[in-house]
């Protein structure tokens, strides 16, 4: 690129970072992009991932849909589809499906590695990916931002985007001031998650007709729950959660991801019903994750540096929304940086618009995901007593079902293009380049239901 308007450095080559690189490749022809990945190759920890209507729209906008379809990954159906089965399972006797969520749109499940490969291929001709470049810190003093890496090297860029995960060095530098230092690191939810991919043929051999081989199911119980859903390749994506009472908000000590014990997993669910016990017993290898989160992030930009994805708003896994929120960050931020009204002189103001557009929504999803976990483990007011033997379908159970469904609606309501239209209007207004005197900050401010998710007062930006 002969004369770029500015240089963007993306620290982190995971889903969020590469999605932003794809967005800039799609919407800009005058922005130079470098991606700095900490490891020897772009990798994404985890297994299965589910995308709904909003996320698929972004992948489509980035020109990736045809590649995914060629891999036999069909777009989410635009009609009501059966979703997760809800099942109370913390008793030894066989249980029953007490509800199945019906969603207005379908979803698509894929392995994270597949999406990462598609995103990497999408930018292969448009940017440079530098491997073994783990960011330690950055500094900025009016000119270019300098990044310092663990290998002793450094690099400069006009704009730096920290997409370097939940333990983000970008975030730790941004929140290094004693006033904000408490936001620099994630806090533990008190929950462990055992993750695995299970061979569905083994499950059927152990329990013929096991419905988890063909349908997504949530097995619920006090302080524990299991989520399973089939993915391509005759596999079941398996996640079992166990919450240690009273530990939420503490700092987790030790590595957050370790090899899990299959014997420990089986013991955790030995008093549960046959379906849940069978899934646990069919796990041959698992990892154990200590689930942490960033709650109430007050800001996600500082000068010419911005946070994206887990670095900005890491959340629990109960809505499966972490990757989708990273995509939405990347879509909005990419379009802002690519906008013809944005240049090196006003890019800091443009990043302020990104923060206003995305952070309240993402913070709201963090809280919704937390609430969903409390519901699944019968620790939320709407869940208390609702699945007891004497509860009836017409009273407490219906309240519980409505509460669970309400957490999920943001996955499919509205489209990111609508959010971008509002963000662009605010961007033009903020930069003072509007040709329409009718546009005002009030008319372009973000309401309480953007991004598909309702924004609670606690989730609003406070700084």
pLDDT digit string, tens, across residues 274-311: 999 999 999 999 999 999 999 999 999 999 999 999 99
372, 427, 378, 431: which is closest to 403 by C-alpha? Answer: 372
| Residue 403 maps to a domain | no
Domain match, 205 and 181 both: no
Domain match, 232 and 286 both: yes
Query: CA 26 to CA 99: how far, in whole Å?
Result: 42
The predicted pLDDT at position 433 comes to 56
Domain match, 448 and 322 both: yes
Task: Report in angstroms the alpha-carbon separations of 141 from 134, 302, 347.
Answer: 22, 11, 15
Q: Domain end: 258, 278, 293, which one? A: 293
Query: CA 5 to CA 33: how far, in whole Å?
Result: 11
Q: What is the pLDDT of residues 336-393, one digit of tens each?
A: 999 999 999 999 999 999 999 999 999 999 999 999 999 999 998 877 766 665 554 5
Domain match, 144 and 13 both: yes
What pairing do the DSSP bridges indicate for beta strands 187-199 and 235-243?
Answer: antiparallel
Listed in sequence order, the residues at least 6 apart from 117 whose beta carbon sits closer than 8 Å to its beta carbon are: none
Q: How many CA atoms lie within 13 A of 307 on its CB side?
A: 30
292: tokens are 């942490």
| Residue 408 maps to a domain | no
Residue 3 contacts residue 30 (beta carbons within 8 Å): yes
Domain match, 257 and 231 both: yes
Domain match, 446 and 314 both: yes
| Residue 247 maps to a domain | yes
Query: CA 385 to CA 225: how far, in whole Å?
Result: 16
Domain match, 337 and 322 both: yes
Q: What is the pLDDT of residues 182-205, one digit of tens each?
A: 999 999 999 999 999 999 999 999
Domain match, 198 and 178 both: no
CA angle, corner 200, sides to 196 and 202, nearest 5? 95
Helix (H, G, I), strand (E, B) or coil at 287: strand
Query: CA 284 to CA 432: how far, in whole Å?
Result: 60
The predicted pLDDT at position 381 comes to 81
Domain match, 326 and 424 both: yes
Count of structural domains, the chain = 2
Helix (H, G, I), strand (E, B) or coil at 281: helix
Query: CA 389 to CA 396: how far, in whole Å?
Result: 11
Q: What CATH number is given to the structural domain containing 201?
A: 3.30.9.30
Q: What percent of the chain has pLDDT over 70?
A: 89
- Of residues 224 and 73, the one with the higher pLDDT is 224
Q: What is the pLDDT of residues 115-161, one digit of tens each?
A: 999 999 999 889 999 999 999 999 998 899 999 999 999 999 999 99
Query: CA 446 to CA 352: how far, in whole Å?
Result: 13
Question: Whole domain around residue 148: which residue ranges?
Answer: 6-72+110-185+297-373+418-459
Domain match, 351 and 276 both: no
Domain match, 122 and 245 both: no
Strands, E assignment, 131-186: 135-139, 145-149, 154-157, 159-162
Q: What CATH number is given to the structural domain containing 306?
A: 3.50.50.60
Q: Domain end: 260, 293, 326, which one? A: 293
Listed in sequence order, the residues at least 6 apart from 217 whose beta carbon sits closer than 8 Å to its beta carbon are: 84, 85, 87, 97, 211, 226, 227, 228, 229, 275
Q: What is the pLDDT of residues 49-104, one digit of tens each?
A: 889 999 999 999 999 999 999 998 888 888 998 989 999 999 999 998 989 999 99
Q: Is the pLDDT of residue 458 over 50?
A: no
Model pTM score: 0.90
Q: Domain end: 266, 293, 320, which one? A: 293
| Residue 361 maps to a domain | yes
């Amino acid at each position: 690129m002969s004369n770029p308007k500015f240089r963007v450095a993306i620290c982190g080559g995971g889903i969020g970072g590469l999605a932003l690189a794809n967005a800039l490749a799609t919407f800009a022809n005058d922005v130079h992009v470098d991606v700095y990945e900490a490891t020897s190759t772009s990798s994404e920890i985890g297994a299965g991932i589910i995308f709904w209507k909003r996320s698929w729209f972004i992948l489509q906008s980035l020109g990736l849909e045809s590649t995914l379809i060629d891999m036999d990954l069909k777009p989410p159906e635009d009609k009501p589809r059966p979703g997760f089965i809800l099942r109370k399972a913390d008793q030894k006797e066989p249980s029953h499906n007490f509800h199945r969520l019906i969603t207005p749109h379908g979803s698509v499940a894929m392995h994270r590695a597949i999406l990462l490969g598609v995103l990497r291929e999408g930018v292969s001709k448009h940017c440079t990916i530098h491997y073994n470049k783990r960011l330690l810190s950055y500094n900025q003093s009016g000119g270019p931002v300098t990044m310092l890496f663990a290998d002793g090297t450094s690099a400069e860029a006009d704009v730096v985007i920290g997409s370097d995960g939940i333990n983000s060095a970008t975030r730790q530098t941004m929140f290094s001031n004693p006033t904000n230092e408490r936001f620099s690191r994630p806090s533990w939810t008190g929950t462990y998650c055992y993750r695995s991919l299970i061979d569905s043929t083994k499950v059927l051999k152990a329990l013929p007709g096991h419905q988890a081989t063909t349908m997504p199911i949530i097995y619920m119980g006090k302080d524990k729950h299991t989520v399973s859903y089939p993915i391509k390749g005759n596999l079941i994506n398996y996640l079992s959660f166990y919450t240690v009472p009273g530990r939420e908000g503490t700092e987790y000590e030790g590595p957050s991801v370790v090899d899990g014990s299959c014997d420990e997993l089986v013991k955790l669910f030995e008093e549960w019903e046959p379906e849940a016990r069978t899934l646990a017993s069919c796990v041959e290898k698992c990892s154990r994750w200590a689930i942490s989160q960033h709650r109430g992030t007050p800001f996600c930009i500082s000068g010419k540096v911005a946070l994206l994805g887990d670095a900005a708003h890491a959340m629990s896994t109960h809505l499966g929304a972490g990757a989708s929120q990273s995509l939405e960050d990347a879509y909005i931020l990419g379009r802002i940086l690519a906008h013809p009204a944005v240049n090196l002189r006003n890019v800091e103001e443009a990043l302020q618009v990104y923060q206003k557009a995305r952070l309240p929504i993402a913070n709201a999803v963090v809280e919704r995901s937390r609430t969903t976990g409390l519901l699944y483990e019968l620790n939320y007011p709407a869940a208390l007593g609702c699945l007891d033997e004497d509860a009836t379908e017409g009273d407490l159970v219906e309240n519980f079902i409505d509460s669970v469904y309400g957490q999920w609606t943001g996955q499919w309501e509205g489209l990111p293009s609508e959010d971008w239209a509002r963000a662009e209007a605010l961007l033009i207004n903020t930069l003072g380049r509007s040709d329409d005197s009718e546009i005002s900050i009030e008319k372009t401010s973000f309401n309480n239901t953007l991004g598909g998710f309702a924004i609670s007062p606690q989730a609003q930006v406070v700084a």
